[in-house]
Structure 1
Amino acid sequence: MLPLARPALLLIALITPLLASASTLSQQQVSARIQQNLENHLYQLPPRVQGHYGIRLYRMTGDDKYANSALVDLYAVTTSQAWNACQADAPAFIRQAAQLAISKLGNGPRAKARKKALKSFPDFLFYADKLLRPASRMNELGVTGPCHHKLIRILKQQDLRPALTDKTMIRAWAAQLANYVYWAKQIGVGDYRDAYKKAFLATYPESKDGKLSQAQFRNKIYGMTHFIFAASGYYQQPVSAAEFGWILDYFNRHIDKIIADGTPDIIAEVGISFLLTDQADHSVVQKTKSAVMAAFDPKENIIPSPKGNPSLTLGEHRNVLALMLLNWPEKLHQGPLLAKLKVTRKHLPAMVNAKKIDDTSAK
């Protein structure tokens, strides 16, 4: 056989790494390639997506190089809170802002279901998404934002229980409602946890799983993972396996169906649920890792959407979850507490104030 010419050898050397299938890569290689891809393009992503990534990598690593991604998001969140919270006692503004939020939900099947559910609770998105969401984010980052006391007072006056426990609402967005429930507790404006759990179980009894569509089964699993995620402060501390045994036992019983019918996002979240309860050696964790790695596209260095879209903006959530599942740390980290970290404390938005937090570990 004649020896290959040098150009041919060079071409083979260049394309061989691209031809590697996901099955030939280790979980460390997959997670490293996802991480490198996201971080190479991080500045191109929207502020909220940058923040989502940076906050999670900080909580995984404690490395303050990720704090500025959270700071970028904080500027956007501060502007949003200034606009909404400072006008939150004006009924006409509330109605207008709520309707605008509803109009931005989109036109897909899930958006239509959410719009239909919200007809019974037309102002809910204002209080939950325009007030609770930014206030909880600032709380996690160790600051309070504009019109904070007004925001707290108004949220305490609202009874969000009817919307949070409505079966139509739960069927439309179970995970996001779990977020709202735990955010309300987090910032001290209401404890809806028991009521939401009771309503969730009534909406999705295991005995009726066979009647669920694939979309509704996914919504159920996605909602269940968010009980655990929210209770952990979104990966800031482990949670009790005993407290969430009803969820973990369910996942264990139905892991094969979850992998068959779930998306990579949902499958990764199920695995992370066990990691957050200190069960890294559970068989479910390995099964979810295998499924997530099988979804990795070595040419794009990303896990694309179920339809094959490799967009980083749309896929950051899916891929940071995969990264976390495949490279879970021994220790989780609080924050980032931006008012305490040296790299960010001099660069905070003028409209925020540092919270008093007993944390001597901030750098």
Structure 2
Amino acid sequence: MKVATRILSGLWIGLWAFHTVAATEEVPELTFEQSAEIIRHTYENQLFTLEPSKQSHYGLRMYRQTLDGKRYAATIHTELNTIASTLNHFADKVNTPEQIVLYAQRRLAPMRETQDERSQRRYNVSKNMPEYVYLGIDLLSAMARANEYGLQHREDDKLRQVIRRYDFKKYATSKPMIEAWAPQLAAQVFWLRELGEQDVVDAFIDTFRETYPDEKDASLTAQQYRNKIYTMTHIIEAMSHRYQTSVNEGDQQWIYDYFRQHIDTILLRATPKVIAQVGISFLLAGLDNDAVVEKTREAVRKAISADIGMIPSATGEMNLSQGEQRNVLAIMLLDWQGVHASPTVSNDPNLFANLPYGLVSKNGAN
């Protein structure tokens, strides 16, 4: 049945893209799957023209959706190289308090020059605790991504000692930090738990809910409203280990209740990227037939420009790299393939046969 759908999908996309249907003839509305195929066609024809981080972001999610190792193996290797380079650099060059502060200050400098609300919030709160940029944004991210594959750095103990010098609760329970970095913090507190380090998940969620009480939604700026909704989806994404396992709606019932109650406002105030994540949150919980899924799919489908084969930015920009995240999420929402705990060293050993220097299997096989 899926093969037939793909064949039909290609036929309809060809009709749509090349305008072979007579102008006077009504063009049938594309299905959600066919709409996803429009975006997939655009990105996969130009995947390796994207920035390496965007190739990896796209390829990993498509691998976990399709389990197509032949198609996406190269993007996984790109990510492994990036993870190894980052952790090698930190283990060798950036691990003392002084080195960490200097590194973080360099990372923060561009934010000082950017005038948008999000960057200004991030710079103003992080300049007084610059180590967070190193610890949360870079070190934890690289270690957690390696961990998901069943890997770790050869100097894992040294890097864990760096993490243990800092009390992450300081960042996770700061309301100004949450206003600036909440989606990232949502991922990071779950990464810490998965790595067996500090567990501040509940403390973060409690502070987040205090920072964004529902009765104050109307007074939030557009950026802060998106920050709230996107963070809620990131909590669900983190619980699923980045789309690898199903989640239980009841474990975060407050999020699902909120999305159901406020979906029409979300559709008005949020971007296609955020809307797609809301819909995916329900799919991760096995709620495929929930009305929220249908509404988010309709909204995301309408955001696709058939002329350019992707969802442009809010200002109409069509940069493939900059638009990768919103577009890969749209593909996932519109043509959901379920959750798959892959790729990992144990499940896909051939993919990890030649690891970049610095990365080793957690079971010692590599």
Does the TM-score normalized on the shorter chain lie above 0.5?
Answer: yes
Alpha carbons of structure 1 residues 125 and 201: separation in structure 2 relative to 1, 3 Å: same
- In the TM superposition, residue 60 of structure 1 has moved relative to its aligned partner by 0.8
Structure 1 contact 85–146 (Cα < 8 Å) conserved: no
Asked if 1:333 is matched to 2:340, the reply is: yes
- In the TM superposition, residue 137 of structure 1 has moved relative to its aligned partner by 0.9
1:24-67 superposed Cα distances (whole Å, 9 cap, x missing partner)? 22211111111121111111112211111111111111221223
User: Which residue matches 2:168?
Assistant: 160
Asked if 1:212 is matched to 2:220, the reply is: yes
Match of 1:24, SS state, is coil
Could you tell me the percent identity over the aligned residues? 37
Please give the alpha-carbon distance, in whole angstroms, between the structure 2 residues aligned to 1:271 and 1:280. Answer: 9
Please give the alpha-carbon distance, in whole angstroms, between the structure 2 residues aligned to 1:194 and 1:325. Answer: 28
Structure 2 contact 153–359 (Cα < 8 Å) conserved: yes
The partner residue of 1:147 within 129, 139, 155 is 155
Please give the alpha-carbon distance, in whole angstroms, between the structure 2 residues aligned to 1:287 and 1:301. Answer: 21
Structure 2 contact 342–348 (Cα < 8 Å) conserved: no
Asked if 1:47 is matched to 2:46, the reply is: no
Match of 1:313, SS state, is coil
What number of residue pairs does the alignment pair up? 346
Structural mapping, 1:31-42, within 5 Å: 31-42=36-47
Match of 1:312, SS state, is coil
Alpha carbons of structure 1 residues 185 and 22: separation in structure 2 relative to 1, 3 Å: farther
User: Which residue matches 1:353?
Assistant: 360
Please give the alpha-carbon distance, in whole angstroms, between the structure 2 residues aligned to 1:18 and 1:298. Answer: 17
Please give the alpha-carbon distance, in whole angstroms, between the structure 2 residues aligned to 1:164 and 1:357. Answer: 33
Asked if 1:80 is matched to 2:86, the reply is: yes
1:237-257 superposed Cα distances (whole Å, 9 cap, x missing partner)? 011100111000001110001
- In the TM superposition, residue 85 of structure 1 has moved relative to its aligned partner by 3.0
Asked if 1:63 is matched to 2:39, the reply is: no
User: Which residue matches 1:227?
Assistant: 235
- Counterpart residue identity of residue 83, structure 1: H
Please give the alpha-carbon distance, in whole angstroms, between the structure 1 residues aligned to 2:50 and 2:203. Answer: 37
**Runs (5+) with no aligned partner, structure 2:** 1-15
- Counterpart residue identity of residue 257, structure 1: T
Structural mapping, 1:210-359, within 5 Å: 210-329=218-337, 331-338=338-345, 341-356=348-363
Please give the alpha-carbon distance, in whole angstroms, between the structure 2 residues aligned to 1:52 and 1:271. Answer: 19
Structure 1 contact 338–348 (Cα < 8 Å) conserved: no
Structure 1 runs of 4+ aligned residues shifted over 6 Å read 17-23
- In the TM superposition, residue 92 of structure 1 has moved relative to its aligned partner by 2.1
Match of 1:174, SS state, is helix
User: Which residue matches 1:8?
Assistant: none
- In the TM superposition, residue 109 of structure 1 has moved relative to its aligned partner by 2.4
- Counterpart residue identity of residue 328, structure 2: V
- In the TM superposition, residue 347 of structure 1 has moved relative to its aligned partner by 2.7
Structure 1 contact 296–302 (Cα < 8 Å) conserved: yes
Structure 1 contact 18–298 (Cα < 8 Å) conserved: no
Structure 2 contact 240–247 (Cα < 8 Å) conserved: yes
Please give the alpha-carbon distance, in whole angstroms, between the structure 2 residues aligned to 1:41 and 1:262. Answer: 28
1:258-280 superposed Cα distances (whole Å, 9 cap, x missing partner)? 00010000000000011111100
Alpha carbons of structure 1 residues 196 and 17: separation in structure 2 relative to 1, 3 Å: farther
Please give the alpha-carbon distance, in whole angstroms, between the structure 2 residues aligned to 1:320 and 1:13. Answer: 20
Structure 1 contact 182–230 (Cα < 8 Å) conserved: yes
Structure 2 contact 17–306 (Cα < 8 Å) conserved: no
Taking only aligned residues, the RMSD between alpha carbons, in angstroms, comes to 2.3
Please give the alpha-carbon distance, in whole angstroms, between the structure 2 residues aligned to 1:13 and 1:71. Answer: 33
Taking structure 2 as the reference length, the TM-score comes to 0.89
User: Which residue matches 2:210?
Assistant: 202
Taking structure 1 as the reference length, the TM-score comes to 0.90
Structure 1 contact 67–336 (Cα < 8 Å) conserved: no
Of stretches 225-234 and 91-100 in structure 1, the one that deviates more from structure 2 is 91-100
Structure 1 contact 124–163 (Cα < 8 Å) conserved: yes
Alpha carbons of structure 1 residues 252 and 13: separation in structure 2 relative to 1, 3 Å: closer
Structure 1 contact 71–338 (Cα < 8 Å) conserved: no
Match of 2:321, SS state, is helix
Please give the alpha-carbon distance, in whole angstroms, between the structure 1 residues aligned to 2:17 and 2:148. Answer: 47
Please give the alpha-carbon distance, in whole angstroms, between the structure 2 residues aligned to 1:151 and 1:17. Answer: 60
Please give the alpha-carbon distance, in whole angstroms, between the structure 1 residues aligned to 2:44 and 2:32. Answer: 18
